[in-house]
Amino acid sequence: MRPGIKIVTIGGGSSYTPELIEGFIKRYKELPIREIWLVDIEEGREKLEIVGALAKRMVEKANLPMEVHLTLDRREALVDADFVTTQLRVGLLDARVLDERIPAKYGMLGQETNGAGGVFKALRTVPVIFDIIKDMKELCEHAWLINFTNPAGVVSEAVFRYAEFDRYIGVCNVPINMTNHFAEVLKVKSKDLIPYFAGLNHMSYVLSVFHKNKDRLPEIIEQIKESQMTMNNIDPLAWKYEFVKELGVYPSPYHKYYYYNAEMYAKFIKAYEAGETRAELVKKLETTLFEKYKDLNLNVKPKELESRGGAYYSDVACSIISSLYNDKRDYQVVNTINNGHITDLPDGCAIEITCRITKDGPVPVHIGRLPVQIRGLIQSMKAFEELLTDAIYEKDLKKALLALQIHPSTTSITTAEKVFNELVIAHKKYLTYYEEK
């Protein structure tokens, strides 16, 4: 085998790919990559070719001996891979538009990873992840799979419970965005902070923020007051200071869908009526990005990419791969398997938690019991994830409907059923996996 690392990115035609390439370029001394294979499907051929050409220009500018390959043949790419990253979107952005607009017709909030939108993204995505893992077991059984395809929590739950594959790590950009924000508040460097996150993907809380062995979370809460900490894909609604102070831990921006449900719904409906749901805005942004990517003089990641909701996803993936490869044992927040680390959640389930990243995988910090004020919501969401994962594995759409009906944001099982049934019809061609039952 030739020296150097082989990395395969599935969903290589994604607008995020330039950030991934940038991350690998700047880490080349510690991560000597020989080959990067960008993989996509026929519908994504044009974007793959555009992004792939930009990736090659970026590598050429960096003057590195790194080969960039483009292919529509996943199995060809996976042979002897060392690391596989997944950033795929089954049904492309048009499917996301349906996930947002159909619930809105019935008075439900539509969102990529929450509620009905999250359910149908999972129904479309998890079977593909299962297929990828099946190929990996045959073609690169020792490779690590780094997933940042949403809904990362359900994907991780499905992999840990049903894929019989333990070289898997789920990643999300929420923790790194929050950590960067805390660093700004404290006027310190992000790398000097060790935040203790605990919970689930898009439902983890910050329990402590250590800087030089001192927990500075109370100070952060005091300084932030009415915080504007948010994400590009979530409305910048301010947290109420008194609420966060009493909560005693720091919620993620996604918690606004639960703690500010009425306000978030009102803003969502306004966007829906204006034809400006998040998916529709992202489609416009992607059109602009890909026009920039076509510029043969462009050989760096354009600044506009940071406007995409997943900014820093790719940088997180690069950091994790480097830490695995170099046995760095540094602290990072990932989706991994619970083994007594959070005692209020089942062993064997997927959790999002601060870990030390070693050559053998993530080693979570020990949290123990969750604070009572956040325990119930996390446990309710975990029950939803478990039930939906069972439904996918069993190819049982009735059980998937039940999962939506018990989701903590669902307020009417009747409305949930109407939304579910219309989304089944809308996504029919991406749900053939379930027809086998």
Active site residue 393: no
Tokens 């333990």 belong to residue: 166
Q: How many residues does the chain have?
A: 437
Backbone phi, then psi, for 410, in 5-degree steps?
-80, 130
**Nearest alpha-carbon partner for 76 in 21, 144, 8, 141:** 8
Catalytic residue among 16, 254, 272, 331, which? 254
b/e code 90-112 from CB counts within 10 Å (16+ = b): bbbeebbbbbbbbbbebebbbbb
Distance of CA 230 to CAs 251, 317, 371, 416, Å?
Answer: 11, 21, 23, 28
Distance of CA 383 to CAs 38, 139, 250, 378, 407, Å?
Answer: 35, 34, 22, 9, 8
**Nearest alpha-carbon partner for 174 in 114, 93, 108:** 114
Identity at 382, one-letter amino acid code = K
Identity at 307, one-letter amino acid code = S
Active-site residue set: 254
